[in-house]
Amino acid sequence: MAVATSNVGAYAGALRRFWWVLVIGAVIALLAGLSARFSISLFPPGLEEKDSVTYTAESRILVSSAQNPYIRGQQTTFVEQPGSADESTTDESATGVGDTTGEPSADGASVQTVPFVSAPDLNTLIRTANIYPFLIESDTVARYRRELYGDLPGSVTALGVTSVVTANRIELSEIPVLKLIAVADSSDDAIALADKTAKAFIGWLEREQDRATPRIIPEDRIVVEQLTVPTGAAASEGPSTTLSVLVFLVVFAAFCVLAVLLDRLIPARTGRPDVEKVEPVTVKKTA
């Protein structure tokens, strides 16, 4: 116990002796802690946060068609087969098939329609959905959005809901659903940007379909539907105060160790103790 107390006293004495090292260390540690969070400028003097809190909102849209293939298991089309009325009647009575129809044409001949069943065309929608993110992020759609809703601060990223894009790996989405990710400095701006971008893209696509030459009939059009409307935004972590405090403590502790080392390397000067003058003693001789 006495040894520990002696060591603490020795360290405290070293810190008192080299107090100027601690002052310099406190200044440098303060600057280091601030630089972990702020950008420090000297001319003019000022502090600017390196990272600020941002908000992210997401909206999703579905790429579909006028046939709405997601609510059917198969798609049935009727193929016309021209024939005479007698042949149509004979065939139906002979085969007993009741799923064909015979309608008279303008020249009196009947037109027989035969049902043709096929699977819904999802591959076209999936390929189209992997192209649409580039259109959503394009300047053309951004200008159309500004025309409708004005300037909206922030940035938008669009990608397939299951797509993977990295430096070494690219996988296209296998589902014709897109997600729009909006990032802004406030929650309201992020929500508005995600929602209005989805609506603007839907409106822009319909406008381009109306302007197309030759005209695209409604049955052949791609249909885009907004699946989710954002109601909230997630905040990022923002700048870390803990990191700044940790940097300050580490740097200041290093200067405390430096002060102790200097105390060990540079011994303290000790002066000679004062010696009291001694009066000479006179010895009297006796006879």
Residues of the chain with pLDDT under 50: 84-85, 88-98
The yes or no reply on domain 55-71+121-235 and CATH 3.30.70.1130 is yes
* C-alpha torsion 244→250→255→256, nearest 10: 120
Closest listed residue to residue 157, CA positions, set 198, 185, 128, 124: 198
Q: 269: which DSSP letter?
A: P
pLDDT at 93: 43
In the prediction, which pLDDT does 95 show?
A: 42
Reference 121, options 178, 61, 66, 163; nearest CA is 66
User: Which segments of 84-148 are extended strands (E)?
Assistant: 101-104, 110-118
Query: Cβ atoms within 10 A of the Cβ of 14, count?
Result: 18
d(Cα 66, Cα 224) in Å, to the nearest integer? 10
Q: Which residue from 129, 164, 154, 170 is spatially nearest to 58, judged by alpha carbons?
A: 154
pTM of the complete model: 0.60
Angle at which helices 123-136 and 139-149 cross, to 10°:
70
CA distance 220 to 133: 21
Which run of H or of E encompasses 180? Answer: strand 177-184
Q: What pLDDT, in 10s, does the model give residues 85-136?
A: 455 444 444 444 445 555 555 555 566 888 878 888 889 999 999 999 999 9
Q: How far is CA 213 from CA 94, 205, 216, 217, in A?
A: 48, 14, 8, 11
Exposed / middle / buried, residue 175 (Cβ in 10 Å: 0-12, 13-18, 19+): middle
What is the arrangement of strands in the sheet containing 110-118, beginning at the earlier edge strand? 75-83, 110-118, 101-104
Radius of gyration of the chain (CA): 42
**CA distances in angstroms from 250 to 16, 30, 32, 245, listed in the order given:** 20, 11, 10, 9
Instruction: Evaluate the omega torsion of the peptide bond into residue 120 and state whether it is cis, within 30 degrees of 0.
Output: no
Domain ranges of the chain: 2-50+239-265, 55-71+121-235, 75-118
